[in-house]
A and B are shown apart, each in its own frame.
Chain A
């Protein structure tokens, strides 16, 4: 069964069509990397999946439930639980500065428990937060404030925070792009460890080496369309389209 199916997703900004009909599907536990040159629409795709942008057309199906559907020129429908199907880790972390690390993790689940009257206990939320902090290797930073952490540590907190709501699919938008080179390793290691725990992930990245090793599948996006798709071996070892060949060779210089 596919955990995610995206059908004919289109997005325009004014007259500028940025996504020109994206189709993709993802199995549970699968890791998909998205590569492509600047301005191709990678960020826009992730933002549409997370409803930070509303696509003009297309369908998003999570675990056989249609959570989003839009037809050009009509008002889109978004299922109430759609937002929590996805999680997003931003390039800029976007931690909440006034909250400690553990509070950053607990805030949204706490508010949700209150809002929905789920009866989930604070202690349970805290327990989960501690487990996730251990997963990203930051147990001893639980009570630290974000401004006192390195970029790599902040991004690991952001990953743990996104996992607190157990999204079906966790998306990363260039998670290491705003980090100093020596800090990218720790973040990539955490992401790789999530793969081992069967998380379904979509990773937009410029780290080709990483994409090659962590992904089950890679797609290459150019000008708002999926230009090429396949296993890492196929895409990196035997690229077919001219655009991908040009893109990969440009990266090697």
Chain B
């Protein structure tokens, strides 16, 4: 029993590391995704083409490969390590998720009827005002379901960080196999992921409900 409690607490520390990846990634990728979305919708063709090509590459290759490239790549080219595993993870995850989010944002923004912009213009509102005061909340409402999917995927993707020696929850649990011959802590980690994703699902459900007063 004491061992169970100790391992639970130890894994909680590991989960803290997982949570760091999750939070830092969201903090950077949510706004970055909006910038990428605007880039990909730009009327300036070279910019939109370049942005879309970048998004295609990032979404079309495995996150694990991107992690390895960012972490080990500079070492292979310049002969020395440039990034700590922590920064490599934060950078790679943020960019990867920003690309996914950008596509969701773009879909959301493009789904808003053109009449909303026109109504804003005819009432003398600026484009900026129309976007922030009229369009944005409608976009948010529409993208909640796909965003919640993507964010829950992120929770689980954090486990990929260990390929570049970032010590997160799974790594913490695997140590018990090597050091103590215990297999169960590895399976036990599922509980942490499940509880956390349940919490997220609950929060997104609340948000969805809060915005259900209009359509």
Contact = CB atoms under 8 A, between A and B. Distances in A.
Interface in B121-170: 121-126, 129, 133-134, 137-138, 141
A108 B124 contact: yes
A146 B214 contact: yes
A84 B124 contact: yes
B115 interface: yes
A83 B129 contact: no
A88 B115 CA distance: 12
B129 A111 contact: yes
B116 to A, nearest CB: 6
A247 interface: no
A52 B122 contact: yes
In the complex, which range does the number of interface residues on chain A fall in? 20 to 34
Nearest to B137: A98
Contacts of B118: 52, 90, 94
A161 B214 CA distance: 19
Contacts of B141: 98
Which 8 A-B residue pairs are closest in the complex by CB-CB distance? Answer: A108-B123, A94-B119, A94-B115, A97-B214, A88-B122, A98-B214, A84-B124, A98-B137
Interface string B44-66: 00000000000000000000000
Interface string A100-123: 000000011001100100000000
Interface string A118-136: 0000000000000000000
A147 B126 CA distance: 25
Contact of B126 (A52, A98, A115): A115
A165 B214 contact: no
B215 interface: yes
A236 interface: no
Given A90-B118, A96-B116, A111-B129, A83 B124 contact: yes
A145 B213 CA distance: 8
A90 B119 contact: yes
Given A98-B214, A145-B213, A50 B129 contact: no
12 contacts: A52-B122, A87-B123, A90-B118, A92-B113, A94-B115, A94-B118, A95-B119, A96-B116, A96-B134, A98-B211, A108-B120, A146-B214
Contact of B121 (A52, A115, A165): A52
Contact of B215 (A87, A107, A147): A147
Given A84-B124, A107-B133, A97 B119 contact: no
Residue among A84, A107, A161 facing the most chain B CB atoms (10 A cut-off): A107
A94 B215 CA distance: 13
Interface of A: 50-52, 83-84, 86-88, 90, 92, 94-98, 107-108, 111-112, 115, 145-147, 161-162, 164-165
A246 to B, nearest CB: 33
Given A87-B122, A108-B124, A165-B124, A97 B115 contact: no
Interface in B93-115: 113, 115
B122 A97 contact: no
A227 B119 CA distance: 30
Contacts of A162: 122-123
A147 B211 CA distance: 13
A161 B121 contact: no
A92 B141 CA distance: 21
Contacts of A52: 118, 121-122
A145 B214 contact: yes
Contacts of A83: 121-122, 124
Given A97-B215, A98-B214, A145-B213, A92 B138 contact: no
Interface in B176-190: none
A97 B211 CA distance: 11
Contacts of A50: 122
Given A96-B116, A112-B125, A161-B123, 10 more contacts: A83-B122, A84-B124, A92-B115, A94-B115, A96-B119, A97-B214, A98-B138, A107-B133, A111-B125, A145-B213
A86 B124 CA distance: 10
